[in-house]
Amino acid sequence: MVRFPAFCLASFPIVGAILLSAAPPRTTSQPVRGLLLVANKGDRTIGIIDPVAGREIATIPDRGVTAHEVAASPDGRTAWAPIYGNSGVGAPGSDGRTLTIISVPDRRVIGSLDFGKGVRPHCAIFGPRDGRLYVTTELTDSITVIDPRTRRIVGTIPTGQKESHMLAITSDGRRGYTANVHAGTVSAIDLEGRKVLAVIPISKETQRISLSPDDRYAFTADQTQPRLAVIDTASNTLKTWIPLPAVAYGTAATHDGHWLIVTLPSIAQVAVVNLSTLRVVRTVDVVSAPQEVLVRPDDEVAYVSCDRSHKIAVIRTRDWKVEKFIEAGHGCDGLAWARE
């Protein structure tokens, strides 16, 4: 049995006040310009949210059943939504085989890419070096590589594990890390060499994955216990566990490398982890079923999609207060930032 240090939720604000005070002060400035994209699973739409106005200004049918995640092109002009299917991971249901392409300025579908068979495409990420789109394709235990200019598949990369659901890519674009849900592992992948570097055991089931801004750590949530795995990417081994007040789901770090935000769906909260100490220093109440976290490029705000509540929580990172909730579609989940 794994034993965790005793802690009390009531103590988090006290510890947080001490540790948060050590962070350098933020300078306030005009919010960075951009649009927030959200995959509304229940409505089968991609929503476009004006973050300044705090409202959804357009919804575009995703033309499938259904998109769970969405990616924005580096120029912010297109959104790419893999159509996963109507099931959960590893559960019976339809097997998605397409990816829908949307013009963000025109608010309309402008194309589709067919994978040729049912592969349950899920997470899409643009490579920071080559500009290609990397999409997890669960049923083939692989990542599919797409050239967004030609809208053609140009390669596949094996993950060596089943149910490779989510993907994170290092800032140099050379390595990828997948969370392999019911395999309970993380695959470390050489994206250029198109080969698996290591398979890292986590638990019986894991979910989601993200990287620290310096690429030193990868984080994935154990779905069997309230703890977060910290992977040392230099050795591709499990470094330590971060105890949590509940089972986690999505994670995202602030770009300055100070904080990691962790969603805790069962208790309608997010936890804030100090990345220097790898300890939870604070929790923030949101609404039911927080899923995914997106930190705005200026680090001033974190957006958290709250699935069953069809809302996006807007959390100020300077004081960890919920500024407001933005109404989104039913089953709001995957988030992306489309710069203007």
Provide the domain count of the chain. Answer: 1
Return the half-sphere exposure (C-beta side, CA atoms, 13 A cut-off) of residue 24: 6
Least Cα distance to 135 among 212, 68, 211 occurs for 68
2 is a domain residue: no
Rounded (to 5) percent helix, strand, coil in the chain: 5, 50, 45
Q: Is residue 140 part of a domain?
A: yes
**206 occurs within a structural domain:** yes
- Of the listed ranges 14-28, 190-204, 227-241, 286-300, the least confidently predicted one is 14-28
Q: Which residues contact 253 (CB under 8 A, 6 or more apart)?
A: 210, 211, 212, 213, 259, 260, 261, 275, 295
Per-residue pLDDT tens digits for 92-135 = 999 999 999 999 999 999 999 999 999 999 999 999 999 999 99
From the list 296, 310, 307, the residue with the least C-alpha distance to 340 is: 296
Could you give the dihedral angle defined by the CA atoms of residues 63, 65, 69 and 75, in that order, rounded to the nearest 10 degrees? Answer: -10
Cβ atoms of residues 114 and 135 within 8 Å = no
Range of the domain at 165: 9-339
pLDDT tens, 265-308? 999 999 999 999 999 999 999 999 999 999 999 999 999 999 99
Task: Assess whether the previous peptide bond of 233 is cis (omega < 30° from 0).
Answer: no
CATH number of domain containing 313: 2.130.10.10
Rg (CA), the chain: 19
Amino acid letter, 195: K
Of 87, 83, 141, the closest CA to residue 115 belongs to: 83
Q: CA–CA separation, 326 vs 338, rounded Å? A: 17
- Residues 216, 175 contacting (CB under 8 angstroms): no
User: Which residue would you say has higher pLDDT here, 310 or 29?
Assistant: 310
Cα angle 291, 292, 293 (rounded to 5 degrees) comes to: 135
Q: Answer whether residue 1 is part of any domain.
A: no
Asked, for residue 279, whether it belongs to a domain, the answer is yes
Decide if 182 is inside a domain. yes
- Average pLDDT of the residues of the chain: 93
For the stretch 98-108, pLDDT in tens is: 999 999 999 99
With respect to residue 225, please indicate whether it lies within any of the assigned structural domains.
Answer: yes
Residue 8 pLDDT greater than 50, yes or no: no
| 2 pLDDT above the threshold of 90 | no
- Residue 32 banded pLDDT, cuts 50, 70, 90: confident
Distance between CA atoms of residues 38 and 159, nearest Å? 27
* Residue 43 vs residues 61, 79, 328: alpha-carbon distances, Å: 8, 17, 10
Residue 41 lies in a domain: yes
User: Would the pTM count as exceeding 0.85?
Assistant: yes
pLDDT digits (tens, 9 = 90+) for 145-174: 999 999 999 999 999 999 999 999 999 999
* Confidence at 27, pLDDT banded by 50, 70, 90: very low
* Contact in structure between 205 and 223 (CB atoms under 8 Å): yes
